[in-house]
Structure 1
Amino acid sequence: MDDQHADSPASSSPPASNTASVRRSYDTVAEEYATRLHDELAGKPLDRALLAALLEQREPGTAVADLGCGPGHVAAWLAGKGVHAVGIDLSAGMVAAGRRRFAQVEFREGDLLELPAGDGEFGAAVALYTWIHLDPGDLRRACEEARRVLRPGGLLLVAFHVGTEVRHLDEWWGHEVDLDFRFLDPGHLAGLLEETGFTVEMRMERAHYPHEAETRRAYLLARRG
């Protein structure tokens, strides 16, 4: 999914998040999310450049996974470059919204901690503002699963908000939700990737664009060993 949820009001004392509440919350906002953010990449030139670099370096002819794809607009951008793009999301509502809009993308419903994909199925993968919903103890498992579904030498691009903050939403665009958004430390996440069999090749940060939430963004590009 994306980073736009961080634009919403947040409380400072969030309850614990869980898979069921994340799924239910994204099911609730799926249609509005898809309508509002379908062309979001048009306003993110750096993200587009990083995605293009990822595609250029992947093994020719291999599929690319969008992990936590939401309604599939990033996967559709990838597919528009002639790639077999596979979008995977926990939310059945998001997957349904994506299938209605982007016939060129293969969508699968599934958990980031137990991806519905074979070992070494993908030449590259992206996880853009999706691991922010995981409990801290599950980040290692997410790294291991990403590594499992990548081919040797496959690249993973991760994007997230920088920090230690946890934001919680009870309401989003007028809908009742129950979502935690965890900002992450780039050094910690880079360390987890290295420990789980990746080599981190690029680490960078940027300020927010004017239309984004006022958070600092980080990107890690890691290669599976």
Structure 2
Amino acid sequence: MTSKLRAIEESYSRIAQSYADHFFDELRHKPLDRALLDVFADQVRGRGPVLDVGCGPGQTSRALVERGLPVTGLDLAPEMIAEAARRSPDIAFRTGSMLALEDADATYAGLTAFYAIVHFDREELAQACREFHRVLQPQGLALASFHLGGDIVHRDELFGQRVSLDFVFFERGIVEEAFLAAGFRIEAFLERAPYPEVEHPTQRGYVLARKPA
């Protein structure tokens, strides 16, 4: 594991409980996110398992299970996985890096990455997209969300705990390029304004991409 990934792992392990308390119910306040998960689930249901990368405390994993999908949640931080397992003991969770997934080729019918790429530079984003493509079945579907823009915001503290995290905002074209270069076909790209009362005030981007047959 690189020093950067180690810092991400350690940071999220320190704040796992507070982060989970704050974000586990966030989808209740985000109607577009729920609608996109509905669209994703309708196209993946019955075709095989789904991987939720960067799952955190498992809020997206839970939403996918509620939509009838067999889901595994993956996160870098062991303490975050422990929080996810405590809150959703019926879902399979495991630690791991989306930059080097342990799964065999063509394992999953679908993959979600909700704000999972927000700490990556462009090279890491490209590697993640290649791994997403590798583990998806032909016609498999990926749904990713991220912060739109060109900023990098560093945080030394979150929820009263010491962390070392860079939050990277991506322009639309950079994300599209990474998915296309990995071999995906982009089916939709959406942007929305923030829900100011429940999340950080940034523009949000969503990409829905399919692995060709």
Q: TM-score w.r.t. structure 2 length?
A: 0.95
Alignment-mate amino acid for residue 150 of structure 2: T
Alignment of 1:95-110 (within 5 A): 95-110=81-96
Deviations 1:22-60 (A, max 9, x none): 000000000111112111100001001001100111152
- In structure 2, what is the Cα distance between the partners aligned to 1:150 and 1:90? 20
Alignment-mate amino acid for residue 185 of structure 1: E
Q: Structure 1: 5+ residue runs without aligned partners?
A: 1-16
- When the two chains are superposed, the root-mean-square deviation of aligned CA atoms in Å is 1.2
In 2, are the aligned partners of 1:126 and 1:157 still within 8 Å (CA)? yes
Alignment of 1:60-209 (within 5 A): 60-209=46-195
- In structure 2, what is the Cα distance between the partners aligned to 1:219 and 1:77? 17
Aligned partner of residue 132 in structure 1, secondary structure = coil
Alignment-mate amino acid for residue 28 of structure 1: R
Aligned pair count reads 209
Alignment-mate amino acid for residue 57 of structure 1: Q
Higher RCO (CA-CA < 8 Å; seq separation 6+): 1
Indicate yes or no: 2:20 matched with 1:34: yes
Alignment-mate amino acid for residue 136 of structure 1: R
In 1, are the aligned partners of 2:45 and 2:69 still within 8 Å (CA)? no
1:8 counterpart residue number: none
Runs of 4+ in 1 over 2 A off after TM superposition: none
2:208 counterpart residue number: 221
In 2, are the aligned partners of 1:79 and 1:104 still within 8 Å (CA)? no
Deviations 1:96-149 (A, max 9, x none): 111111012110100010113221111111111111111222111100000111
- In structure 2, what is the Cα distance between the partners aligned to 1:93 and 1:113? 19
Percent of paired sites with the same residue: 40
